[in-house]
Structure 1
Amino acid sequence: MPSDLINNTAHLSFKNVSIIGNAVGDINVRNLGYTITFNSTRRPEPNVINICNGPFAGVKGAFLVTNSPDNNWVEQQLELIAKKIEPQLGCWPSTGLVTLILMSMISKQVNVERMALLPNLARHPDMPKDEHLPCIVHNWLGERRIALGLVLTQTHIKWPELFFAPLITPSDAEQVKAMDESNIDIANPFELLHKVDKKTDTPTGMMLTFQVSMFKQMATLSSHQWVAMASTQALTQVEMLFVEPNAEKSPCAWYFTHSQTNQYLDAIRHHLAYCQQLIAIASAQEKEKEKEKEHQANNARS
């Protein structure tokens, strides 16, 4: 928690908070407490706070907050948190995650809607190749890693959209059955991810064919195969493959804009996010069991 957080009474106003992301869906402004929106999503209701990132708002500061009980204080806390978690992500965090962390500290109830921290990487066919999607500057898998750690340990945060079902393909059942019956070694998608060419220039010839086939293979593998090979370390090591922190100043890795590889990025990230989710849930459950054992042991001694 930022050091000056408890020395300011502004946080006492944020007892109940609803955070509304920029994804598709209705905006539900609750009568109780404050509702927070981001950037261009604005509402006329008096209890709606808007938070913009500095570049979007055209200001020098990291964030611009309007209509809160203390705009300057909220901006300061957001910047402190952003700087603290930046090393954990390898890049500047999204406004949504930073806001969630702050509100998790100062609110008794936090509801999150229209936000899954995994925006679409699919490009429109008419999009110029030298134009990047704004979302690629953030480490979304890393942000989900942090968010899952919060939601699974703090019961006052309600965020159903953070949790995904596995990505199902028509061949999933057949693949799993065949692997179970033959007991064959399954492909390791994480090894394939480490073979991805990260250069900005598009490969040519056989190398391009090989790279495209890898992306297709990873996207079409079953969730069973991904989960079987997943680990916390393996997941963390590949997060930055889907991030381009300096996209505003320098070209992106070629596979972000190549029409054949771009179509597979969202499926691959969905598999990764699902593996990450399962591991986070299992870890939280294990910690809960350890706490229960410790509690029982303390009771037995007393």
Structure 2
Amino acid sequence: MRFNLAPGEKLLDREIRICNRKQAGLPDSPFPFLASSLSFSPAWCEALQQRLAESALALEGEQSCLPSAGLATVHAMLQMGWTLQLQRMPLRPSMLRATGMSARQPLPAAWHNWLGERRLAWQWRQTQAARLRWPDLLLALPITGADKRAHANPYPALIQCLGQMAGKPSGAGANRLRELAAVSTEAWCLHAEHTELQALESFFYLRRDSTITPNWWLYRNDLSPCIDRLMQCLMQAQQFLAMPQRCD
């Protein structure tokens, strides 16, 4: 199974290809995701598209954002009773913007709530352990017996910073983001709480139902390394909560 390949890419034998409707060149399709295959009938593919649409709706309710084709497919396949071995699907795209990108050009990866997607993926990895193998979900966690008391809690500062800056570009706020991006991975992991991590999700993606976003920092080329580092740390913190025994 492969996702969102370039238009015209040849279908392989035994391949199931899933594309979002824009990537498939069918923006007016009633289905958010399109399926194609040489090994399964058109009727089977259409039934899968219906399943994917149902999964997309359910997942959008859980993360306030249309899911990626990959996450919707995993959800649909689990609902269908499949056993899955996932490869090359870390749900961790780069948030780095190229130096010459226009300040009006969104990064394609910014349209998805990747923190929300990994939150759900970790839940499934635990509740569907017998049917779901997902090794690429694991990130390196450089935790070596660190003492929580030796690290200040960075979460209140990040929530306050992003909340106050929303819709209000600020040089001082940008500098504060740079400072927070330099906080150690240990601090983010050791002070992690599910409620704070989920509260931060909305600051790291763009909403499709609005032409004006409060998350202006996602359009700043100079801030993208900070955003990428912060998202990496928050994803590591999610994993730390899900698998604390691997972080001793």
Q: TM-score, normalised by structure 1?
A: 0.70
One of 108, 112, 137 as aligned partner of 1:134? 108
Q: CA deviation at 1:252?
A: 6.3
One of 148, 166, 176 as aligned partner of 2:122? 148
Letter in 2 for 1:223: T
1:66 aligns with 2:36: yes
Letter in 2 for 1:39: N
State the alpha-carbon separation in 2 of the partners of residues 279 and 221 from structure 1.
18
One of 248, 251, 254 as aligned partner of 2:216? 254
One of 55, 67, 74 as aligned partner of 2:22? 55
Within 5 Å, give how 1:14-163 maps onto structure 2: 36-40=1-5, 42-59=9-26, 60-61=29-30, 62-67=32-37, 68-69=40-41, 70-154=44-128, 155-163=130-138
Encode CA deviations 1:82-104: one digit per residue, 9 max, x unaligned: 11121111111111101011122
Q: Spell out structure 1 runs of 4+ moving beyond 4 A.
A: none
Letter in 2 for 1:189: Y
Conservation of the 8 A alpha-carbon contact between 1:212 and 1:260: no
State the alpha-carbon separation in 1 of the partners of residues 23 and 204 from structure 2.
22
State the alpha-carbon separation in 1 of the partners of residues 107 and 221 from structure 2.
14
State the alpha-carbon separation in 1 of the partners of residues 217 and 58 from structure 2.
30
One of 144, 152, 165 as aligned partner of 1:186? 152
Identity of aligned residues (%): 25
Q: TM-score, normalised by structure 2?
A: 0.84
| Alignment gaps of 5+ in structure 1 | 1-35, 284-302
* Equivalent residue, structure 2, for 1:290: none
State the alpha-carbon separation in 2 of the partners of residues 223 and 275 from structure 1.
8
Cα separation, partners in 2 of 1:211 and 1:189, compared to 1, 3 Å: same
| Alignment gaps of 5+ in structure 2 | none
Encode CA deviations 1:33-92: one digit per residue, 9 max, x unaligned: xxx111225454220011111222232221211114401100001001111121111111
State the alpha-carbon separation in 2 of the partners of residues 52 and 44 from structure 1.
12
State the alpha-carbon separation in 1 of the partners of residues 54 and 11 from structure 2.
29
1:237 aligns with 2:207: no
1:274 aligns with 2:236: yes
Conservation of the 8 A alpha-carbon contact between 2:151 and 2:187: no
Mean Cα displacement is larger for which, 247-256 or 57-66? 247-256
Mean Cα displacement is larger for which, 254-263 or 230-239? 254-263
Encode CA deviations 1:96-131: one digit per residue, 9 max, x unaligned: 101011122335431111211121110000111110
Cα separation, partners in 2 of 1:195 and 1:240, compared to 1, 3 Å: same
Secondary structure class of the residue paired with 1:274: helix
Conservation of the 8 A alpha-carbon contact between 2:101 and 2:221: no
Conservation of the 8 A alpha-carbon contact between 2:3 and 2:18: yes
Of structures 1 and 2, the larger Rg is shown by: 1
Conservation of the 8 A alpha-carbon contact between 1:152 and 1:281: no
* Equivalent residue, structure 1, for 2:173: 211
Secondary structure class of the residue paired with 1:50: strand
